[in-house]
Amino acid sequence: MRSRAMPKPSWNLDYMMWVFTRLSGLSLILLIVIGISAGLLMGARSQMDLGTLMRWTFFPNSNHVLDSEIPDLYLWANGFWQIMQILVVFFAATHGFNGLRVVIEDYSLSGFWQIFLRFLILLLWIFSIMVGIYVILGS
Amino acid sequence: MALSRKVSLSAGAKYKGGGPMLAWVLHRISGLGIIIFVTLHVIASFFTQQFGSDLGISINIIYESIYFQLFIVFCAIFHGVNGFRIIVLDIWPRLIRYQKESTWLEWFVILPLYGLTVFIMIQRFLEG
C-alpha cells in the first residue's frame, strides 16, 4: 500500500486542481474571516446570537440575519455582499466537487466509469453554481 | 488517477497510522459531510425561494435538528483547521518532519473552538 503520489507539475487536471484546492481553501478561510469581522463591526455584537452570526459568517446572505434584532438591512443586503456570496459559492462548489471527484477516484475503476463519473460531477458542479448564483441574485 | 489497492478492511483497520491517518480519514468524512449539508441547503433554499414549496421546509427539518448541527459544526471546524495545516505543510515541505506534532497542535486549536461552540449550542437547545 502506498499513498497517492503528488501530481507532476504541468497543465494537467490533477495538478491544476491540486493547486486550486490549496488556493481556494485559503480564499475560503479569508472570506470567512472577512464575513465574521464585518458582521461584528456592523452590529452583530449586540444584535445577534451566535447561531445567526455563524450562518452569516459561512454565507453572508441577508436571509441569514432576518430573524435577529438588526434594525434595518441596508448594510447587510447589497452588491458587495452579493459578490462575496458568489465568490463563496464558486470556491466552495469547485473545491467540494473536486474533493468528491478525488474521493470517488480513489475507490473506482479507471476507464469508462472514471470518465462517466467525472462527467456526472461536472454536471453537478455547473448545476449547483448556477442554482447558487440564481438564489443569491434573487434574495 | 485511480489507484488499485488490494487491502482488506481488517488489514486497513489494523494499520497504525496514528494522528496523521486519523486527520486524513476525518478530513474526508468532514468534507463529504459539508457537501451533503451544502447541497441539501442549496436545494431547500431554491425550492423555498422560487416555489414556496413544502419540500424546502421538510429538508430544513433534517438539518435544523441539534444532532445534524453538532455534526456539521465539527465538520466545518475540523475541515478548516486541518485544511490550513495541510496548506502550511505543503508550502513549507521541510515541516513534514513534524507532521505528527502538527496534528497534536491542530487538536489544541479544534477542541477549545468546538467545545465552546457545543457548550453554547446545547445551552440554547436546552433553553428551547
Give the pLDDT confidence of A18-48 residue by residue, as tens digits. Answer: 999 999 999 999 999 999 999 999 888 888 8
Domains for chain B: give ranges and CATH numbers: 20-127 (1.20.1300.10)
pLDDT at A139: 74
- Asked if A108's CB is within 8 angstroms of B38's CB, the reply is no
Give the pLDDT confidence of B7-40 residue by residue, as tens digits. Answer: 777 877 777 778 888 899 899 999 999 999 988 8
pLDDT at A64: 84
- B2: nearest CB among A25, A100, A105: A105
Kindly state the average pLDDT of the residues B105-121. Answer: 92
Which ipTM value was assigned to this complex?
Answer: 0.85
Rounded CA separation A105/B28 (Å): 13
pLDDT at A1: 44
DSSP sequence for A62-79: GGGGTTS--S--TTTSSH
Kindly state the average pLDDT of the residues A6-22. Answer: 85
Q: CB of B63 within 8 A of CB of B41? A: yes
Residues from B contacting A (CB-CB < 8 Å) are 1-3, 5, 7, 15, 28, 31-32, 34-35, 38-39, 42-43, 45-46, 49-50, 73, 76, 80, 83-84, 86-87, 90, 117, 120-121, 124
The total number of residues shown for chain A amounts to 139
DSSP reduced 3-state for A8 = coil
Residue B3 has pLDDT above 70, yes or no: no
Chain B environment of A25 (Cβ under 8 Å): 83-84, 87
Q: CB of B62 within 8 A of CB of B40? A: yes
- Residue for grid cell 449539508: B37
Rounded CA separation B99/B51 (Å): 50
SS (H, E, C) B77-126: HHHHHHHHHHHHHHHCHHHHHHHHHHHHHHHHHHHHHHHHHHHHHHHHHH
Rounded CA separation B33/B79 (Å): 10
- Asked if B31's CB is within 8 angstroms of A103's CB, the reply is yes
Chain A environment of B73 (Cβ under 8 Å): 54
